[in-house]
Structure 1
């Protein structure tokens, strides 16, 4: 293996380990939408309801409030209970390491890494960051992300671009996209890709070898965002993760 292939293999092994972690998204057993009426859910202690500014749990130890917009994880025996907000709605998602989706997981195949898919590009910032509303795999649900700009690059002689969102670390970027392989060899709804912070001149590397599936490729209990319309690439990106086994 070349050094490039070795680095990719290490990265993908680590990504698979995180995906299949005991309380990773493969362990989710349900997606429970909260209303103003208190409810009980299998395996989850107490009664739960949502108010405009908080998720409220009536537990044996007393009432707990979880402020709107803040995600929290609680432990209950072997379970981890995700308390979260999606599209302005409160949700609970229990995670059980023994859930069959995790136990039976066989891994995710990927295209053979190829340096030609580590594409040089340029980040073009907007005059001001702007909110971008995208759809979701859950019908009727929308997500709003702040976009600082777009990434421009060329594949096969075609000038292309992707609307970028803020990544998980300062300056980093994150994109959602589909392409000509979507629904054929790759997951149809979306793939995601992290891009390191641009250089002083705006230069970036868009390494499609590291394109990954979102949770919705594995579980029906996901609320994944869909790519903005302009991120539907008119080329086949034969790189990155493919359809799960």
Structure 2
């Protein structure tokens, strides 16, 4: 029967349940308000309008100022991370990485150039790169206006030694020499990079304070190093700061932190690597703790390595010690890279 006490009680119970679900999800807070766009606040207001007694029985979210400050910190960190990707030297503008052989090799955008820049970005044949021992020379052909970082026009000369590297520009292009162990190459940036044009953000997990963990830091002696493989198959020597030991998901793990400064670098993999996150793992930086103090390892600010964003990159892979057997559902998820 319409209007019966049993029907009314059931309706009230249903409405309370819906409201509790909404509140638990944080959907009725002012921070998530969607105004008059038909969002969740509109639903909550409608329920309260027809059930005013619920005002006295609604649960209150236990969100402290510290929680809000932390969530805001993580959100701002990721916002800044995306902005850095768009920088002039951000990974989204990277357009090429070309390893050079000893001797001469031509460069340009044409099919016969040994170092082939993006089509139409520079004349078909722009010049010659020459590697002589540990020095790289560049010679420009024709009347091409290539400039260095001081805006001097370059025709012929040294562009890199082990002690210095010149930055060259032509229209939307910028390039310079990079060295990776015994390899010497040209790194090219393009303001018209398709990776920049097709970028549509990076998905990430919801912020979870449980993945901001305290770890016991055991520093290594000064000068300690280890060899870590990169995506090129090279074994590169890294400075080792120490080990971090913590418990998570029923496991106690000890991982390696790299570096010599106040910020320590952690390349890591976990059970999500290759499915939910990038197969080559993720990166994380932490502050070096003071002596005797725990280190804070915050996986909410872990992020994809450059190799997950752009194919023209070189990245270290997580060492065996940093491959954890449990899933870490915090930080950035797998990014669908634009395929050139």
Give your verdict on TM over 0.5.
Answer: yes
More helix by share: 2
Match of 2:139 in 1: 58
Once the 2 structures are TM-superposed, how far is the Cα of residue 31 of structure 1 from its aligned partner? 1.4
Between the aligned partners of 1:159 and 1:8, the Cα distance in structure 2 is: 25
Superposed CA deviations along residues 176-224 of structure 1, whole A, max 9, x for unmatched, are: 0100010111001121000112122142100000111111102221111
Q: Is the 8 A contact 1:71 1:85 kept in 2?
A: no
What residue ranges of structure 1 are gaps of 5+ in the alignment?
Answer: none
- The question of whether the paired residues in 1 share the 8 Å contact of 2:159 and 2:165 is answered with no
Q: Which residue of 2 aligns with 1:147?
A: 240
> Equivalent residue of 2:245, what SS?
strand
Q: CA deviation at 1:143?
A: 2.2
Provide closer, same or farther for how the CA distance between residues 49 and 163 of structure 1 changes in structure 2, counting only shifts above 3 A. Answer: farther
Q: Is the 8 A contact 1:172 1:198 kept in 2?
A: no
Q: Quick one: structure 1 residues 24 and 203, their matched pair in 2 at CA, closer, same or farther if it must change by over 3 Å?
A: same
2:98 counterpart of 1:32: yes
Aligned CA distance change for structure 1 residues 4 and 144 (closer, same or farther; 3 Å): same
Once the two structures are TM-superposed, the CA of residue 227 in structure 1 deviates from its matched residue by: 1.1
**Distance verdict in 2 for CA 1:203–1:184, change over 3 Å:** same
For the structure 1 residues 184 and 129, does the alpha-carbon distance in structure 2 shift closer, same or farther, using more than 3 Å as the test? same
TM-score w.r.t. the length of structure 2 is 0.66
Q: How many Å separate the matches in 1 of 2:283 and 2:164?
A: 23
* Structure 1 residue ranges, 4+ long, deviating more than 4 angstroms after superposition: 69-72
Q: Larger radius of gyration, structure 1 or 2?
A: 2
2:218 to 121, 124, 128: 124
1:46-78 alpha-carbon deviations (Å, 9 max, x no partner): 322334433332345331142227665433322
Note if 1:200 corresponds to 2:291.
yes
Query: 154, 166, 180: which is aligned to 2:259?
Result: 166
Q: Would you say the 8 A contact 2:159–2:177 is kept in 1? A: no
SS in 2 for 1:94: strand
Local SS of the residue matching 1:57? strand
Whole-Å separation in 2 of the counterparts to 1:72 and 1:206: 38
Residue pair 1:153, 1:160 contacting (<8 A) in 2 also:
yes
Q: 1:101 aligns with which of 192, 195, 198?
A: 195
List aligned pairs for 1:182-221, cutoff 5 A: 182-221=273-312
User: Cα RMSD between the aligned structures?
Assistant: 2.0
TM-score, normalising length: structure 1: 0.90
Residue 18 of structure 1 aligns to a residue in which SS?
helix
Where 1:48 maps in the other structure, the secondary structure is strand
Higher strand fraction: Structure 1 or Structure 2?
A: 1
Instruction: Give the Cα separation in 2 of the matches to 1:230 and 1:69.
Output: 34
Cα distance in structure 2, aligned partners of 1:110 and 1:73: 35
